[in-house]
Amino acid sequence: MKKSKFLAMSLILLFSILLTACNSDSSNGTSDSDAVELVYMSHTPENDVQKKVIEEDVIGSFEKEHPNIKIKWVQNEDPVSLVRQQLAAGAGPDIVLVDGPTQVVQFAKSDYLLPLDDYAAEYGWSDRYFDWAYDTGFVEDKLYSLPGQYESLVVWYNKDQFKEHGWEEPKNLDEFLQLNEDIANAGLIPFAFGTTDFRPANEWWLSVVYNSYLGKEEFKKVLSNEVPWTSDLVQEATTIWKDIWQKGYINEKKSHAISGDDAWTLFRNQKAAMKMEGTWANANFTTDPVDFEVDFFVMPGWRDGVEPTLPLALGENVGINADTKHPDEAAEFIDWLFSDEVGTIMFKQGYFYPNKGIEAVEGVDPIVTSVHKELDASLEKGNAGFASWTYWGPNVEYYLWDNIDSVFLDQLSVEEYLKNAQKQAEKDEEEGLLFNFNE
C-alpha cells in the first residue's frame, strides 16, 4: 500500500512538472500567460507568401529571441483610418504604423505618440538610418517615429505588348499622350487603376502629375505655401490630368468605380498595358509573378526644362502609442521591425529600408535590383521629388485625393478644386503641419 501511495504521489508530481513545462518556455521558464502582449496593426499583405514572411521571419524570429513578448498582429485594408479612430478614443495598438511622416506630425501634435528620444540614444537609431529618412520622424525637435521602407511611383508596363506593337518609353509629355492614344487604338486600356477599396490611391497620380509638370524646385514652393495651389502651373497640370482621364486613358473613365484588385486583374490578364503603382509593386511581381515580361519607366517631364522626377516617399513610419502599458517592450519590437536584419529580409521581397547597414542583396529578382538602382540614382543626383504622404500638408493632401473624382466627372471645376485646396494648405500652415524643408 505504501509503495502504491508513493507511486501515485510520484506520478502526480511528475504530471505536474510536465504540465508546467508545457506551459512554459523551457529555456527561461517564462509562461505564455506571463508574457507581455503587444498589438501591432498593419496593412493586409498582398498574398500568402508575404504574410508568411512577416509571420515567421519577422514576428516569429522576434518572439523566439524575446519569449517574454508576444506580438498580436492585426491586419486591415485601411489600418491608418482605424488607428486614428482608436487613438482618438484613448485606445489603439501598442505599435502605431502609419503611411509616412505626414500622419506622424498629426498624431504627435494630438499627443497620440510617445517621444522616442531616450530609446534612440539606447539603441543608436541616429546612426542606423540615412539622415533624410531619420529626420522625418521629428516633430518640434522630438523624435516620434522610425522610418520604414522608402519608395516612389513609376509606370509599370507589359514589355511583351510594347515589343509587339513597337511602343517605346516616352521621353516627354507629347510622346506620353501619343503612347496612351496608340494603346487605346490597339483595343487595350492604357492604364489599369482603381480606387474603390482604397481612395487615397488617387494621391499616386497626384504626386506624379504635379512633380512631373512643376519639377522639384517649383513644386517645393507650392508645398511650402510660397506659391499658392491656384497658380498657373498647378492649374495647367491638373487640367492635363483631367483631360487624360476624360479621354479614357485611365481605366476607361472607371477608376472611381473599380477596386485596386480589379485594376491588377486587368493588368495581369493583359487587358491593360500599363499600371500606375508604386515601387512596392516589386513584391507582387516577386511573390506572384505575371505571365509576361514586366518593366517600368519613370514618368517623363511634362513641361520643357523639367527632368523626370521620381516622387520620393517613406511608405511607413512606426511609433509607439502614448498610452501603451509596455513602452520598453514596444521599443524593443520597433528596434527589430526596422533593423538591418529585417531590412535585408524585406529587400528580397522588393521593399527598401533607408538603413546605412543594408548592402545590395544577392540573388533577388532583377526587376528589384533595377528599381533599387533607379531610386538610389535619383537620391544621388538630388532630383527626387515629393510624394504626397511624406511631404504634403495633411489637410491639403486629404482634400486633393478625396475630391479629384468630382473634377473628372465635371462636378467641380479645376479652379474651384484648387481654390479649396489652397484653403486647406493655409490651414496646414496655421496648424504647423507643413513639411519643414529647411531641416
Order of strands across the sheet that contains 272-278: 189-192, 272-278, 153-158, 294-297
Strands (E), 77-188: 95-98, 138-139, 142-143, 146-147, 150-151, 153-158
Same fold, 32-150+314-368 and 153-309+393-430: yes
Closest of 284, 358, 264 to residue 50, by C-alpha = 284
Supply the DSSP string of 216-265, one letter for each residue: HHHHHHHHTTSS-TTSHHHHHHHHHHHHHHHTTTBGGGTTTTS-HHHHHH
User: Partners of 31 in the beta sheet?
Assistant: 24
Amino acid type, 202 = N
In what helix (H) or strand (E) does residue 268 lie, and over which residues does it extend?
helix 260-268
Supply the DSSP string of 277-303, one letter for each residue: EEGGGHHHHHHS--SS-EEEEPPPPSS
**Residuewise pLDDT in 10s, the chain (439 residues):** 333 333 343 433 333 333 333 343 434 444 556 789 999 998 888 778 889 999 999 999 999 999 999 999 999 877 878 898 999 999 999 999 888 788 888 899 999 999 999 999 999 999 999 998 999 899 989 999 999 999 999 999 999 999 999 999 999 999 999 999 999 999 999 999 999 998 999 999 999 999 999 999 999 999 999 999 999 999 999 999 999 999 999 999 999 999 999 999 999 999 999 999 999 998 888 888 999 999 999 999 999 999 999 999 988 899 999 999 999 999 999 999 999 999 999 998 889 999 998 876 778 889 999 999 999 899 888 889 999 999 999 999 999 999 999 999 999 999 999 999 999 999 999 998 898 887 5
Task: Give the N- to C-terminal CA distance of the chain in Å, as an integer.
Answer: 84
pLDDT at res. 32: 58
Selected from 3.90.660.10, 3.40.50.10490, 3.40.50.300, 3.40.190.10, the CATH number assigned to the domain covering 32-150+314-368 reads: 3.40.190.10
In what helix (H) or strand (E) does residue 73 lie, and over which residues does it extend?
strand 69-76
CATH T-level topology, domain 153-309+393-430: D-Maltodextrin-Binding Protein; domain 2 (3.40.190)
Strands (E), 78-229: 95-98, 138-139, 142-143, 146-147, 150-151, 153-158, 189-192
Domain range list for the chain: 32-150+314-368, 153-309+393-430
In whole angstroms, give the CA distance from residue 377 to residue 427: 35
HSE, CB side, 13 Å, CA atoms: give it for residue 188.
25
205: cell is 497620380
